[in-house]
């Protein structure tokens, strides 16, 4: 489901479940991997990536519907906790977008400090307006996206469900760099390694101060 390996000071977390849809199993595995990184000693940074043509397409809506209300609440709570943990993570984090980042997968990418995207294939998309599920974004999701995207881009992405290719995602401030396929992970690792020596306690405190409102929304019961 996931693989976590260490490349010098950089931990590389690979999601290996196809579209990497969020269910209880994947969310628990991701949380466990983050715990491993946090428990490590010395300089460290984190890079996450997917496999094939997908980074992540977000919630597994079929599993969510089949699991009943209690399972749905558990999945959403775990997802919010993951976003909050990444947003305030005490090391630098870089999302290496090897392919499509949709819905919750796009939000996962936004929870990282930096994003590197494959130039020639893959989209960043918030498609909820086209899903017709009757499930709007939660306050925590709104707060996360609002903390990362300019308001005009946020508005356009939500009301149109537009799919942003990498070059446009760069110009709109959604991702930081667009590079060829074979450079996505190496560039993300390079960016992460340059920041691996930052003091963890200070970095975590700075992020909590910077994203206090979003963190409160993500961790509140009302999310």
Bridge partners of 171, per DSSP, are none
- Where in 31-147 does DSSP place strands (E)? 45-49, 54-56, 92-97, 100-102, 114-118, 123-125
pLDDT at residue number 85: 98
So which residues are the catalytic ones? Answer: 128
pLDDT at residue number 223: 45
Going from the N-terminus, what domains does the chain have, and what CATH number goes with each? 2-219 (3.90.226.10)
pLDDT at residue number 60: 86
Share of the chain above pLDDT 70, in %: 95
Residue 210 has pLDDT above 70, yes or no: yes
163-165/2-7 β-pairing: unpaired
**pTM above the 0.75 mark?**
yes
For the chain, the average pLDDT equals: 94
163-165/100-102 β-pairing: unpaired
Q: 38-62 pLDDT, tens per residue? A: 999 999 999 999 999 999 999 887 7
CA distance 49 to 216: 27
Please compute the mean of the pLDDT values over residues 137-144 and round it to a whole number. 96
């Amino acid at each position: 489901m996931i693989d976590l390996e260490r490349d010098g000071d950089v931990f590389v977390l690979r999601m290996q479940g196809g579209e990497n849809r969020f269910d209880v199993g994947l969310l628990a595995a991701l949380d466990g991997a983050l715990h491993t990184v946090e428990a490590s000693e010395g300089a460290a940074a984190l890079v996450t990536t997917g496999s094939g043509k997908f980074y992540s397409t977000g919630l597994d809506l079929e599993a969510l519907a089949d699991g009943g209300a209690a399972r749905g609440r558990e999945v959403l709570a775990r997802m919010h906790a993951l976003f909050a943990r990444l947003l305030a993570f005490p090391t630098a984090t870089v999302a290496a977008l090897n392919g499509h980042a949709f819905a919750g997968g796009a939000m996962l990418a936004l929870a990282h400090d930096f994003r590197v995207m494959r130039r020639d294939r893959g989209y960043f998309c918030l498609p909820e307006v086209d899903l017709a599920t009757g499930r709007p974004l939660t306050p925590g999701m709104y707060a996360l996206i609002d903390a990362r995207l300019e308001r005009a881009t946020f508005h356009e992405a939500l009301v149109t469900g537009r799919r942003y290719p990498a070059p446009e995602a760069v110009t709109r401030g959604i991702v930081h760099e667009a590079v060829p396929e074979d450079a996505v992970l190496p560039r993300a690792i390079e960016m992460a390694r340059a920041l691996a020596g930052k003091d963890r306690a200070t970095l975590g405190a700075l992020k909590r101060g910077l994203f206090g409102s979003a963190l409160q929304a993500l961790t509140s019961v009302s999310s």
